[in-house]
Amino acid sequence: MVESKKIVIVGIPGVGKTTLVSKTVELLNLKKTTVSVYSFGTIMLEAARKNNIHDRDAIRKLPINDQKKLQLLAANQISNFNDKVVIIDTHAFISTKSGFYPGLPEYVLKIIKPANFISVSARPEEIYNRRMNDKTRNRILTSIDTIKKELAVQEAMLSSCSVLSGSPIIQILNKEGKVTTSAEYIIKAIGL
């Protein structure tokens, strides 16, 4: 059996990961190329529903041990997906009450075995506005300075992931109004 290629896309809240992944799939479908997309947070949420959590933005407020259990459960589920190319929409870290919690600690990397990382960023001011204007989510509304700090933490966290897993990082700047351009860049970069 051909091994499933796992592509992990990360970025801070509101940077545009889910939007970019949807556009990427839309463009690939036009080319009759199929990829499977899974949202790490959605898999965690499905499991959390048993504990009466029904909002994806409530997961990061749970005690760290509960988040860890859900994270492990999601990682194991993802490792069983056998599709040829799997894109995983997730985070390099989560802002929790206990501080920055890694989205891809070593034990998760060992389970998922990512082939590539895609690191999405955008101008801090644009991320700020995207968070402010997106009424579908309960994101933390932080200052632009905090967003700059989050972008730096993302770089640091993802560097460790790359070193631990030996897999490369593609960096992408998701410019305002340029979702299609960014999605085309992703397709080219991962060779689909």
* Residues in touch with Mg ion (CB under 5 A): 18
Q: How far is the CB of 92 from ligand ATP (least distance, A)?
A: 11
User: What does 103 bind: Mg ion, ligand ATP, ligand AMP, none (CB cut-off 5 to 8 Å by kind)?
Assistant: ligand AMP
Q: Are 125 and 144 in contact (CB under 8 A)?
A: yes
Which of Mg ion, ligand ATP, ligand AMP, none does 176 bind, CB closer than 5 to 8 A by kind? ligand ATP
Beta strands 169-173 and 36-39: pairing type? unpaired
Closest contact distance (angstroms) between CB of 136 and ligand ATP is 7
The span from the CA of 78 to the CA of 101, in Å, is: 20
146 part of the interface to ligand ATP, by CB under 6 A: no
What is the spatial distance between Cα 181 and Cα 187, in angstroms, rounded to a whole number?
10
Q: Which is nearer to Mg ion, 18 or 77 (CB)?
A: 18
Residues within window 161-180 making contact with ligand ATP, judged by CB under 6 A: 174-179
Tell me how far apart the alpha carbons of residues 86 and 2 are, in angstroms, rounded to a whole number: 13
Indicate the residue among 28 and 158 with the shorter CB distance to ligand AMP.
158
- Of the pair 165, 174, the CB lying nearest ligand ATP is at 174
Q: Cα separation of 22 and 89, whole Å?
A: 10
User: To which residue do tokens 């259990």 refer?
Assistant: 69
> Which residue shows structure tokens 């700020």?
128
* Cβ–Cβ < 8 Å for 35, 25: yes
**If contact means CB under 5 to 8 A according to the sort of partner, which of ligand AMP, ligand ATP, Mg ion, none does residue 6 touch?**
none
Considering only residues 14-33, where is the footprint of ligand ATP by CB under 6 A?
Answer: 14-19
Mapped onto helix, strand or coil, the DSSP state of residue 49 is helix
Among 5, 6, 7, 13, binds ligand ATP (CB under 6 A): 13
Q: Are 36 and 178 in contact (CB under 8 A)?
A: no
Query: Which stretches of the chain bind ligand ATP, using CB under 6 A?
Result: 11, 13-19, 130, 134, 137, 139, 174-179
